[in-house]
Every structure is written in structure tokens, then in C-alpha cells.
Amino acid sequence: MPDHDPFPLPRVDETNRPYWQALAEGRLVYQCCKACGHAWLPARSECPRCLAAETGWQQASGRARLVSWVTYRKAFHPAFADRLPYNVSVVELEEGPRLISNLVGLADPEDLAIDEPLALVLREEHGVAIPAFRKAG
């Protein structure tokens, strides 16, 4: 066992490389099917609706809504112990795909409402660009 666990950075592979590459360039993208138009995240090798393997990427507008959220009061990983309490949310992009993300800039971590509008902000985590969201407006 190492003395301390390394920060759990995303595992980049052939399928999800375009997603992380776009974030590094300042854009949030989602995957879409060239056969049926279905849109989704996270990255997959086939369309989960029509099973076609011809997929592409589109840039998200950054407008989204809050599906639900939690606030960690205990750390499940040592790398997050000094961030408590911290938010993790399920966010739905206006284009449809959903993702796990963090809400930032919250004065009160529980002063939130389901379905409230959110706006994308990118942040850096240990040198990796990742998506986060703030309350819109």
C-alpha cells in the first residue's frame, strides 16, 4: 500500500479521448449518433439507442438543469477529506445528456432546488480540465 492514495484522475482511453481533449481546449462536448441523432454521455463505442458504431461529437451550449445533488459530510477517499463539505450533482445538459459534476460558488451547499438552471464553468483538477456548474443568473 502507498502512503497516500494518488488523486483519482480520469482514465483516458481511445473512446473517451475526444471528450477530455475538448475539455482541455475549453469546450464541453457530448457524443451523438450519426445514424439516429441520439445524444449521450459518457463516451461509448456504440449508440445505446440504435447500436450504430458511427458516432460523433458536438459542443454543448453549457446551459443545463439540476436533476439532484448530494453534499458529502464524510470523505470516502482521502484526497477529498480537506474539501468537506462538498457537492456532487447530477446535471442534465439542455441537449439531453446527463453527467455527474460539481456545483461551485455556492454560499450554502443546501440552498438549491431541483430543476433549477445551471451554467457551465470549466475548472482544473490536478492539471486536468473538468466540467463544473454554477447557478445560472
Partner 1 sequence: MPGNVVIAGIGHTAFGRLEGRSTYSLNIEAIRNALADAGIEKERVDGLFVKFPTSAYEFMYGQKLAEAAGIVPRIGGVWDQGGAANASLIGYAAMAIEAGQCEVAVVCFADNPKSGTRQAYSKPWGADEVFGWFGIPAGYAMIAQRHMQQHGTTAEQLGAIAVACRANGARNPAAQLRKPLSLDDYMASDIVVSPLRRDDCCLVSDGGAAVVLTSARLAARLGVAAPVPILGFGQGQTSAEVAQRPDLTTTAARASAATAFRMAGVRPADVDVAQIYDCFTITALMTLEDYGFCRPGEGGAFVASGAIAAGGDLPINTAGGLLSETGMPGLQLVIEGVRQIRGTAVNQVPGAALCAISNQGGVMHTHSTLILGN
- Least distance (Å) from partner 1 to the CB of residue 34? 21
Quick one: what does residue 36 bind among partner 1, Zn ion, none, with the CB cut-off 5 to 8 Å set by partner type? Zn ion
Sequence-distant (6+) residues with CB within 8 A of 57 are 18, 19, 22, 29, 30, 31, 32
**Distance linking the first and last C-alpha atoms of the chain:** 46
Strands of the sheet with 55-59, listed across from one edge:
39-40, 29-33, 55-59
98 binds partner 1 (CB under 8 A): yes
Q: How is residue 76 annotated by DSSP? A: S
- Least distance (Å) from partner 1 to the CB of residue 90? 5
Is the Cβ–Cβ distance between 70 and 88 less than 8 Å? yes
- For residues 74 and 72, give the distance between their C-alpha atoms in angstroms, rounded to a whole number: 6
Residue type, 102: N
50 binds partner 1 (CB under 8 A): no
Applying CB under 8 A, the site for partner 1 has a residue count of: 33
Question: 8 to 37, contacts with partner 1 by CB under 8 A?
Answer: 8-11
Residue type, 57: W
Quick one: what does residue 38 bind among Zn ion, partner 1, none, with the CB cut-off 5 to 8 Å set by partner type? Zn ion
Question: Which of 25, 46, 124, 125 touches partner 1 by CB under 8 A?
Answer: 125
- Least distance (Å) from partner 1 to the CB of residue 20? 10
120 binds partner 1 (CB under 8 A): no
Binding site for partner 1 (CB under 8 A): 8-11, 42, 67-74, 76-77, 80, 83, 85-86, 88, 90, 98-102, 109-110, 113-114, 125, 128, 130
